[in-house]
Each structure stands twice: as C-alpha cells, then as structure tokens.
Amino acid sequence: MLITTIGSGHVGGTLARLWTAGGYEVRVADRQNCAQAVADADVVALCVPWSAAEVALGSCGDLAGKILIDCTNPLSAGLDGLVLGTTTSAAEQIQRWYPNAQIVKAFNSIGAALLGKGEIDGRTADGYFCSDSATAKQVVRPLVTAAGLRPVDVGPLRNARYLEAIAMLWIDLAVNQKRGETFAFTLAGWSGTLS
Ligand SMILES: NC(=O)c1ccc[n+]([C@@H]2O[C@H](COP(=O)([O-])OP(=O)(O)OC[C@H]3O[C@@H](n4cnc5c(N)ncnc54)[C@H](OP(=O)(O)O)[C@@H]3O)[C@@H](O)[C@H]2O)c1
C-alpha cells in the first residue's frame, strides 16, 4: 500500500515520518509534483490549509477509487472560528468535489506535536475518524494506531462537522486562550463495540 501526503508541514511531515517508521511506503507531495506523487497512491492524506485544499486537490489528477484522508480544519484566517460547519464540513465538501473517492476525516482534532508522543497522563490520546466507507475505515484504523493514537470510529462522514468543531475548541483553548498545546481529547469509558 502506498500513501501520499499532500503537504509536508506539521501534520503531513509528522504523519509521513510516523507511517514510514511503522513500515508503510510513504511519499510526500509538494506543490510541484502532486499529480505524479498521487497517481499510484492507494491512500492520500490531505494536510494543507483549508484555504489551499481545492487548489491542492485539483492539482492531483484523478482521485477516483482512492482513500482520501482529510486532515484539514476549515479555519478562518484569524483562527477565531470555522468558515463552514453545522450543516456541512470540509470533509463533506471534499466528498462533493470528489464523489468517487472514499473520504475519511481523521487526524484533525489533535495537535500535530502530540502525534507519536505516546501517553498523556497515562492514557493514549484518541484518534477520531469517520467515513461513509467501511472499507476505507478498515484501512485507516491501523494508520491511526501507527500515529500513536487510539482509533475511535465516530461513524458516518457527516460527523466530520462535529470533529471539526472539536478541533476548533482545541485551537481556541490552546492558541487563543493560551492554555498550552499539550492536551488532547479522550473519551472515558469508550468500549468501541458497535451494537
Ligand atoms: N498543526 C496542527 O497541529 C494541526 C492539527 C490538526 C489538523 N491540522 C490541519 O491540518 C492542515 C495542515 O496543517 P499544518 O499545521 O500541517 O500546516 P503547515 O505546517 O502550514 O503545512 C502546510 C503544508 O501544505 C502545503 N501546501 C500548501 N498549499 C499547497 C498546495 N496548493 N499544494 C500542495 N501543498 C500545499 C505547504 O507547502 P509549502 O511549504 O509549499 O507552503 C505545507 O507543506 C490544516 O488544514 C490544519 O488546519 C493542523
């Protein structure tokens, strides 16, 4: 399985390093080589600012059939809110742009610096993900584990609108309220068993 990250910044660079360490074949796409780096990838992780998402994806060529992990948050320029939400999400917008790709929302609700850092207060931080594709979830679950997180499947892709709101809360606490960037969300008492 070949994974391509679009973006090599805090999120893309960190995920590429952790997945490589976990034994996955990983390629990193930059602005110049997206189409080439994505062409034969099975999994593509979108790790660019939301404002660049449409252009970056548009430079990637055909995404039909690929698993596309959306790590973005649709943040306003001042980090004081989301530019879309409540009735939709960045992930759902991407699914509308690319109806034949399998979109998974993941890695958006934890600070990149905490990826691969191990336990926080004796607990593994949660890696929330959602998708309408059961097959894509099966592929992404071990990638969440390889990033040092406890995989928590929160359901269909529409729940990305809530994962993006959770991320906004994290940003507001960590950055705007200056509470530090060393905390992460975890669900207490989560069994993970589907009824
Ligand atoms: N930082 C976090 O803790 C964190 C956590 C969770 C989710 N997120 C979300 O993850 C996304 C990435 O955040 P980040 O902190 O990793 O950003 P970052 O450090 O600024 O990195 C952004 C990357 O995107 C690349 N890029 C921008 N436009 C591009 C284009 N058109 N084509 C290809 N690559 C392009 C940049 O390349 P250049 O160097 O050429 O500009 C850079 O490698 C954002 O949507 C953010 O909201 C961030």
**Which two tokens mark 48?**
């660019």
Q: Nearest-CA neighbor of 108 among 149, 55, 56, 52?
A: 149
**Nearest atom in ligand 1 to 72's CA:** 45
Phi, psi angles (nearest 5°) of residue 18 = -70, -40
CA of 7 to the centre of ligand 1 (A): 6
**pLDDT tens by residue, 68-116:** 999 999 999 999 999 999 999 999 999 999 999 999 999 999 999 999 9
Mean pLDDT of the chain: 96
Q: Residue 126 pLDDT more than 90?
A: yes
192: burial class by Cβ within 10 Å (0-12, 13-18, 19+)? exposed
Say which CATH number the domain at 92 has. 3.40.50.720
Decide if 194 is inside a domain. Answer: no
Q: Residue 193 pLDDT more than 90?
A: no
**pLDDT tens by residue, 16-50:** 999 999 999 999 999 999 999 999 999 999 999 99
167: how many CB neighbours lie within 10 A of its CB?
23
**Nearest atom in ligand 1 to 53's CA:** 31
Which residue has a Cα nearest atom 21 of ligand 1?
Answer: 9
Using an 8 Å Cβ cutoff, are 35 and 59 in contact?
Answer: yes
Q: Nearest-CA neighbor of 91 among 28, 16, 154, 9?
A: 154
Residue type, 162: Y
Domain encompassing residue 42: 2-176
User: How high is the pLDDT of residue 118?
Assistant: 85
Decide if 184 is inside a domain. Answer: no
Cα separation of 18 and 47, whole Å? Answer: 14
Decide if 84 is inside a domain. Answer: yes
Decide if 189 is inside a domain. Answer: no
Decide if 190 is inside a domain. Answer: no
Cα separation of 131 and 19, whole Å? Answer: 20
Number of domains in the chain: 1
Decide if 183 is inside a domain. Answer: no
User: How high is the pLDDT of residue 91?
Assistant: 98
Decide if 28 is inside a domain. Answer: yes
Cα separation of 143 and 31, whole Å? Answer: 24
